[in-house]
Structure 1
Amino acid sequence: MLKKRIMALMAGALCLTAWSLATAEPAQAQVVRSEPIAPGVVEEMHHWQNARIGVWRCDLTNPNTDLRLVAGAGEYTRRATVGQMSARTNAVAMMNGDYFNMALQGSPIGPSIVNGRLQSSPAVIIGLYSLGIDAGGTAHIEAMTFNGGVKAADGASFPLDGLNKTYYWHDPSGQESHTDTIQMYNDFWGSASRGHATNTEVLIGPDGTVEQISYGKNLPYPVPDGKIILQANGQGELFVKKHLKIDQKAQVWAGVQPDRQWKFLVGGHALLVNDGQLVPYTKDINVLGGVRARTAAGISADGKTVYFACAEGRTSRSAGLSLGQLSRFMQALGADKAVNLDGGGSSTLVSRPLGSFNRQVAIAPEGFGAQRAVVNGIGIFNETPEGPVVAGKLSGPSRLVQGESGQFGLASAWDANYHPKATQGLALTYTDGGQNGIWDGPWFVALQPGTVSVKALADGRELAQKDLVIQGPEAVSGIRIQLDKFMVQPGDFVNARVFAKTLDGRSIELSPRVINWQLEGFTGDITGEYGAFGINQLNNLANGKIKATFGNHTAEAYLGNPAYRLLDLGIGQSQYWLDGQAHQLDVAPYIHEGRTLVPLRLIAEAYGGEVTWSDERREVEVALGQTRIILPVDENRVTVNGDSRPIDVSPQIRNGRTFVPIRFIAETVGMQVEYNDQSRTVSIIAPKE
């Protein structure tokens, strides 16, 4: 029962399900980002079959490619998250590595080399494969076995079963790893707990001297620095009792086969791709089946390129991958061989984008959960010398509308070895080739549609470039004009600004340079480059008008003659304008029986009149100049200077205010009324006394 429970808790090596190969062509991956992050390493972000997948392409022909395996918090049994490992070791990028048993001490299932030393052995389980890089800089994915043993001073020897292993069961024999065997632990094992507490242990010093033997129980301390502990059971314990003696020498060795003088080694699970062909996943274990977060490694046919992939799973932006999809993705990357690494809740990728001083989570843990503490991680490092800035990334828009302005800057920078560099203090100039706009420092005004290359220069050297698409008037849905004054007289200057609403919902200001300007009614001089108008004559008109044209879009804005009183009211709007100044109404004008009704008191007082209300007769009297009008509420006849006249819409009371049909009142007293159907605005114009 214990064996079944422990196996069910394993996070990887014993946690996958069988799958069948699909024959359908995979969808083309969309590479949304691709950039070098360290010498010999390019990081890519793929969107493929509803999955977000981070990829590293590692070029082993580059002598500065620095790929290492990192152990948790520095030793096995001391786990850490991918983010913690990357911060502790100053890695440029990090992702999770080998499978491990979550229920026991934290050590990997497979072999590992950390800091140049073999720190764990491959488990005795058939069908597991490891990724290694040999001393000549060639990568291999192959099955590995452990080659270890102990030789006593009397010449007797006994094979070691493993190095720094938690207990597990051999496959296919089913033998328990710490029964009838000898296990080796070195000072990279950070815990005082090892294997089975009732097993015999032997402490061996750096020179091979047997220093202490504890029969039937563990030694009560972690492995001292520079020493090793052998844990023996059954046949292994009989060997210890018969052949190992305190103060005598013992020779202990540990290695893996094949022996290629490995400088990098990490364990994995089963093959995904072999000789460029998809491989059916035959290990039928059920915990990590389905569509999940995944991690994998692959190599090119010549072993000079290593591919790492980390797929986000079960988040709002990424479903994850099945094992079959993972195989096809690795094949599509170009892997000749590929192996499945620890996936599910362990899959996480943290990296420092090119030019950034800060790491970010590029591939989030499954379901956007917390990062899982794991036993090891695969890291990208950069310990090359630092130099001056050679390149950077431009900040600023990728798309502008003709006439729109955009600010550019150097968002980040790096040297020839991809170390991030500070951008402060760099004297930059900007250019677009001089064809499509004008520059004012970092500000660019787009004047001509087209695609241009914006560049940042330092001392005449190009540091950064980005493409900018300039769209024409077809990219906006409409324009409007804003003037700095309304009432004008001869000799005044008026400045006009044009704003546009883009099809994607942005509100932008357009340069006056792209506008075709007109002045109507009033006469004057136009300086279109600045949107400036010098008013010369008002021509005895109440209003003049500035008109702007941008492509097929037009807008108008009125100017006022101070010799006239100008009142503008919007239907259904509580705001009104008197001589260009905005004011508020407590009750808005409205339409009734096809007529526009407005507050009578507003009209009268705006034009110097008086309003008197008779509650007894329910009528209102208004005096405007020489005209006196009596308007009974809800009746269709009014009295003008003593004469009774019909009115097509009777005065009405709304919210305590008397509303009257504006056209009747205005025309009765000699005012001019204009109605703008498009803006639903009523304008009342009358000369001032």
Structure 2
Amino acid sequence: MPTTPVRALAAGLLAWCVALAGAPAGAVSPAGGAAAPPPPVALAPGVTYRSFDVIASHGPARVHLVSVDLREPGVSVDLLTPGSVAARAPLSSLADARAAVAGVNGDFFDITETQHPGVEATGASVGPAVGGGRRLKAAVPDGQRFGPALPAGTDTRAVLGVGTDGRARLDRLVLDGGVTTPDGSFPLGGLNQYALPVDSVGVFTSHWGSVSRLRATCGTDEDRAAPCGTETYEVTVRAGRVVAGSPVPGRGAIAEDTEVLVGREAGARLLRALAVGDRVGVRHRLVAEGSRIPYRFAVGGYPVLRAGAALPGLDPLTSAVRSAAGRADGGRTLLLMALDGGLGFRTGLTIAEVAEVMRDAGAEDAFSLDGGGSSTLVTRDLAASAVTVRNHPAEGVERPVPNGIGVFSRG
């Protein structure tokens, strides 16, 4: 497409039309701005796509942008997953499996476990995840996350998603759960997480998958590279009763009528007190801390723009290929963005520049997703049976990811 900003960026063009040499760090300017902006490509009623180039602090960047009108009848957004929390697949495969008309990669994830010999990387995402209205997982402790440093005042519980009211919003999803045993009750510290808080008990459900649960007992709340815990215990609960116990967290698929409780340190001692046949109750939910409106879909990451203003302290120096999502029109419009990783564009944008690009695209709030080799944006043409990867992945091929944001249309 011609190298010109999208029409939605018009409000921000005045700020952009500053010579690069005199622009402050984080400022971006349009490339090829003399050409009239082309109309967006319609993917479905209420869903459009376009790309445009900008000149940023480290050079040219190509932006791929999908706009979703959530008010359009038949349009919906949901979490794309491989079917399990602890699994990965290319975004194009996830989108094709659900017949999505567009999609972008999602949250940061547990990509490597070089610090823990013999422990496999789970591929599970960092933050909370909700898909189809189902709570799939909660957030790992801040010190256990993968990805760049979080902006001040944010944490791993941050999500972007669409609520049951049909509006996109940013919020924090907090785990509210507990375990009731014959000897009393105690709080639940995790839900399908690759890392549990020290001294806690977490629950793993059929949504987790078949990957080993051992990683959940490694690292600490401040350091993901810390050694694995030496005091662990696992209890299998089926139909509300303990059916098995083990000193080492296991692996394998979990049946829908079964829950596996994993404890570390003090949590392990609580579980070790249980015997086969004991009645155990497990409850858990994810609560939207700010709005209290349940999410139909939610994905983790971290905010970079709130109420049209960039979060303070965003890095203006480190440039990379990145993905982001944003909300506009009071949450009635969702924006999905991925940068191109092709030759000539892979210097990308700083996170401060991402906030500016999303703001000038019309976003009131914006949210950083995983970047680098994970950044992928796909669309499906009206008559096509499969999606097309619109950006060039930074590693030359699509990186398998644990989740993404999918756009659907019944039109």
Q: TM-score, normalised by structure 2?
A: 0.77
Amino acid at match of 1:263: R
Residues 1:253 and 2:259 are matched in the alignment: no
CA displacement at 1:74 relative to structure 2: 1.8
- Residue 211 of structure 1, aligned match among 208, 218, 243: 243
- The SS at the match of 1:158 is strand
State how far apart, in whole Å, the 2-side matches of 1:181 and 1:263 are.
28
The more displaced of 314-323 and 295-304 is: 314-323
Partner of 2:309: 277
Amino acid at match of 1:43: Y
Q: How does 1:463-502 map to 2 (within 5 A)?
A: none
- The SS at the match of 1:260 is coil
Residues 1:53 and 2:63 are matched in the alignment: yes
Amino acid at match of 1:185: F
Q: How does 1:399-438 map to 2 (within 5 A)?
A: 417=411
Deviation string for 1:319-356 (max 9, x for gaps)? Answer: 42121211110000111111111011100112112333
Partner of 1:191: 210
Closer/same/farther in 2, CA of residues 220 and 312 from structure 1, 3 Å limit: closer
For the 8 Å contact 1:38–1:380, the answer to whether it is kept is: no
Between the two proteins, what is the percent identity of the paired residues? Answer: 29
Partner of 2:170: 141
For the 8 Å contact 2:26–2:352, the answer to whether it is kept is: no
CA displacement at 1:181 relative to structure 2: 0.9
Closer/same/farther in 2, CA of residues 25 and 220 from structure 1, 3 Å limit: closer
Closer/same/farther in 2, CA of residues 25 and 317 from structure 1, 3 Å limit: closer
Partner of 2:106: 97
Residues 1:201 and 2:234 are matched in the alignment: yes
Closer/same/farther in 2, CA of residues 318 and 236 from structure 1, 3 Å limit: closer
Amino acid at match of 2:105: N
For the 8 Å contact 1:293–1:313, the answer to whether it is kept is: yes
For the 8 Å contact 1:200–1:233, the answer to whether it is kept is: yes
- Residue 227 of structure 1, aligned match among 237, 252, 258: 258
Amino acid at match of 1:53: V
CA displacement at 1:145 relative to structure 2: 2.2
Q: TM-score, normalised by structure 1?
A: 0.47
Closer/same/farther in 2, CA of residues 313 and 21 from structure 1, 3 Å limit: farther
State how far apart, in whole Å, the 1-side matches of 2:315 and 2:277 are.
47
Structure 1 moving runs of 4+ over 6 Å: none
Deviation string for 1:107-145 (max 9, x for gaps)? Answer: 110111123311110233361321021111122112332
Amino acid at match of 1:186: T
CA displacement at 1:67 relative to structure 2: 0.8
- Bigger CA radius of gyration: 1
Q: How does 1:645-656 map to 2 (within 5 A)?
A: none
CA displacement at 1:318 relative to structure 2: 5.7
State how far apart, in whole Å, the 2-side matches of 1:344 and 1:182 are.
33
CA displacement at 1:44 relative to structure 2: 2.0
Amino acid at match of 1:222: A
Partner of 2:86: 77
State how far apart, in whole Å, the 1-side matches of 2:42 and 2:286 are.
33
Partner of 2:402: 375
State how far apart, in whole Å, the 1-side matches of 2:257 and 2:241 are.
12
CA displacement at 1:210 relative to structure 2: 2.1
Deviation string for 1:58-83 (max 9, x for gaps)? Answer: 11222321211111x32122211112
CA displacement at 1:21 relative to structure 2: 7.5
- Residue 239 of structure 1, aligned match among 270, 288, 307: 270
For the 8 Å contact 1:21–1:324, the answer to whether it is kept is: no
Q: How does 1:566-645 map to 2 (within 5 A)?
A: none
Closer/same/farther in 2, CA of residues 115 and 302 from structure 1, 3 Å limit: closer
- The SS at the match of 1:306 is strand
State how far apart, in whole Å, the 2-side matches of 1:88 and 1:24 are.
39
Residues 1:114 and 2:124 are matched in the alignment: no
State how far apart, in whole Å, the 1-side matches of 2:261 and 2:24 are.
44
CA displacement at 1:33 relative to structure 2: 5.6
Closer/same/farther in 2, CA of residues 62 and 226 from structure 1, 3 Å limit: farther
Closer/same/farther in 2, CA of residues 240 and 26 from structure 1, 3 Å limit: same
CA displacement at 1:236 relative to structure 2: 0.9
State how far apart, in whole Å, the 2-side matches of 1:359 and 1:219 are.
37
Partner of 2:338: 310
Closer/same/farther in 2, CA of residues 220 and 70 from structure 1, 3 Å limit: closer
State how far apart, in whole Å, the 2-side matches of 1:184 and 1:135 are.
26
Amino acid at match of 1:228: E
CA displacement at 1:52 relative to structure 2: 1.6
Residues 1:332 and 2:341 are matched in the alignment: no
Closer/same/farther in 2, CA of residues 24 and 54 from structure 1, 3 Å limit: closer
Closer/same/farther in 2, CA of residues 28 and 222 from structure 1, 3 Å limit: same
Relative contact order, higher structure (CA 8 A, sep 6+) = 2
Closer/same/farther in 2, CA of residues 219 and 260 from structure 1, 3 Å limit: same
For the 8 Å contact 1:81–1:373, the answer to whether it is kept is: yes
Amino acid at match of 1:142: D
For the 8 Å contact 2:26–2:350, the answer to whether it is kept is: no
CA displacement at 1:276 relative to structure 2: 0.7
For the 8 Å contact 2:342–2:392, the answer to whether it is kept is: no
Closer/same/farther in 2, CA of residues 221 and 358 from structure 1, 3 Å limit: closer
Deviation string for 1:458-515 (max 9, x for gaps)? Answer: xxxxxxxxxxxxxxxxxxxxxxxxxxxxxxxxxxxxxxxxxxxxxxxxxxxxxxxxxx
For the 8 Å contact 1:79–1:373, the answer to whether it is kept is: yes
- The SS at the match of 1:202 is strand
Closer/same/farther in 2, CA of residues 187 and 333 from structure 1, 3 Å limit: same
CA displacement at 1:105 relative to structure 2: 0.5
Aligned residues: 345
